[in-house]
Amino acid sequence: MNARVANAGNARVTEPVPVVLAGARGHGGWHLRNIHRLQRAGLVRLVGVCELTPLTPAELDGFDGFDGFDAPAQSPDFGDLLDATGARIAVVCTPIPTHADLAVAAARRGVHLLLEKPPAPSYAEFSRISDAVRNAGTACQIGFQSLGSHALPAIRELLASGAVGEVTGVGAAGAWARDEAYYRRAPWAGHRRLGGADVVDGVLANPLAHAVATALALDGSTRAEDIARIETGLFRANAIEADDTSCVRLTTAAGRRVTVAATLCAEQPGEPYVLVHGSRGRVTYWYKQDRVLLQRTGHGPQEVVHGRTDLLENLVRHLTHGVDLLVPPAATGAFMKVVEAIRRAPDPARLPDGAWRHEPGESAPRRVVTGIDALVAEAAATLAVYSELGAAWALPEEVTTP
């Protein structure tokens, strides 16, 4: 137990768990708002914020004086902040190359972690994180929010009941749009390496990482040892180092295929989804919406929208009530094998000028790959890779055996 629990008469009172947030801007702003929600619910208390530039009073609105608590301390030094605040949980949402050092620093202090995805830019760094939390006996939750969806156990129950017959494979498709300013949002954005350190900020490793992790979860292949073979096809339309239009096909230890196709250069951006293929039907899961569509022989389509458990709340409940973690490091080992294959693959191939065009974006022009939406969808539907689907610009996929 890490939150102090006391008995007041017959009532069980749990004090809010003190939390430090490292990285409170950009996507970290979502975590800041989520912590505020959970603080209002009495589950946590924000005691510190680690940022190079302190948050303004406006950015911390709602935390100063809330429920009698002082405003959170601020410092650019993560370790000092953990020591000074007595935090029991650290939420880490910082640049990818910093994850391992911060995770190890927290574990050595006995501080539990919610670590934003991807957990690390290489399998070696992931192993360093895993070893640190195991040796320290601390809990670590990896921030794949889609894996907190109640849709996952519901889909697993459908599959186990034989609703779609024998599962023959899993596909995933993600067609998103990001303008050229997206790659200027941070010094590490769009890089495979920076200053000698791995970054691997490609479409499958970062923005559409949930598509990979969710497909693996629905296949039941989440551990590193569940992956037997990886084929990667990495491409880029943008003037970046990393990939923005890619495809990966995994062969699992059970012999099934899992294919994930994704782009940040969509013609008409849409909701990403995972498609479970069966011998008598299929299940489509739009993981950002927690929406599940069951289609099977001899029945009409059935659609259900499920709830979701927040991963920070699950971590708190793990510490205070002993519930199981939803996304411990071991449950992302297969995903990290994919990241490692992408890291070790040849640099992404540049798409020829005729394969893409400029269109207006939110704050800058964006590059659109002609026909990519249909190609991504077909890859998920057939479990084929781009080079097998007739894309003129697609080279034969590289093969890596973990």
Residue 210: the pLDDT is 98
Tokens of 232: 């990667």
Q: Which segments of 209-265 are extended strands (E)? A: 227-236, 245-252, 257-263
Query: What is the pTM (predicted TM-score) of this model?
Result: 0.94
Judgement on whether residues 114 and 189 belong to the same structural domain of the protein: no
Distance CA 392, CA 266 (A): 17
Instruction: Tell me the HSE value of 342 on the side-chain side, using a 13 A CA sphere.
Output: 38
Quote the CA–CA distance of 126 and 68 in Å, as a whole number.
Answer: 39
Residue 316 lies in a domain: no
Tell me the per-residue pLDDT of 305-333, one tens digit each, with 9 for 90 and over. Answer: 999 999 999 999 999 999 999 999 999 99
Q: How far is CA 73 from CA 64, 77, 189, in A?
A: 10, 11, 29
pLDDT digits (tens, 9 = 90+) for 145-188: 999 999 999 999 999 999 999 999 999 999 999 999 999 999 99
Last residue of a domain, one of 127, 146, 165: 146
Question: What is the rounded CA–CA span in Å between residue 399 and residue 248?
Answer: 10
Phi, psi of 7 (to 5 degrees): -105, 125
**Residue 227: inside a domain:** yes
| 382 and 234, same domain (yes or no) | yes
Amino acid letter at 112?
H
Number of domains composing the chain: 2
Please tell me whether residues 238 and 386 are part of one structural domain. Answer: yes
**Are 361 and 216 part of one and the same domain?**
yes
Nearest CA to 170 out of 230, 248, 258 is that of: 258
| CATH number of the domain where residue 19 is located | 3.40.50.720
Same domain, 42 and 115: yes
What is the residue whose two structure tokens read 């990482």? Answer: 209
CATH number at residue 290: 3.30.360.10
CA distance 245 to 393: 11
Cβ(386)–Cβ(261) under 8 Å?
yes
Residue partners of 230: CB distance under 8 A and separation at least 6:
248, 249, 250, 251, 337, 338, 341, 399, 400, 401, 402
Residue located via tokens 């790959």: 369
Domain identity same for 71 and 189: no
Cα-Cα-Cα-Cα dihedral of 316, 317, 323, 326, to 10°?
-50
The pair of three-digit structure tokens given for residue 115, joined into one six-digit string: 């670590």
Q: What is the pLDDT of residue 183?
A: 96
Q: Are residues 129 and 169 in the same domain?
A: no
Q: What is the pLDDT of residue 62?
A: 85
Query: Given this model, what pLDDT does residue 6 score?
Result: 34
Q: What is the rounded CA–CA span in Å between residue 288 and residue 303?
A: 15
CB 263 within 8 A of CB 254: no
178 and 292, same domain (yes or no): yes
- Residue 18: give the domain boundaries: 5-146
Q: Are residues 138 and 176 in the same domain?
A: no
Per-residue model confidence as pLDDT tens for the chain (402 residues): 334 433 333 333 479 999 999 999 999 999 999 999 999 999 999 999 999 999 999 999 888 766 667 889 999 999 999 999 999 999 999 999 999 999 999 999 999 999 999 999 999 999 999 999 999 999 999 999 999 999 999 999 999 999 999 999 999 999 999 999 999 999 999 999 999 999 999 999 999 999 999 999 999 999 999 999 999 999 999 999 999 999 999 999 999 999 999 999 999 999 999 999 999 999 999 999 999 999 999 999 999 999 999 999 999 999 999 999 999 999 999 999 999 999 999 999 999 999 999 999 989 999 999 999 999 999 999 999 999 999 999 976 655 655
Residue 84: inside a domain, yes or no?
Answer: yes
What local confidence, expressed as pLDDT, does residue 1 receive?
A: 32
pLDDT on residue 65: 63
CB-count exposure of residue 97 (10 Å: 0-12, 13-18, 19+): buried
| Domain assignment present for 320 | no
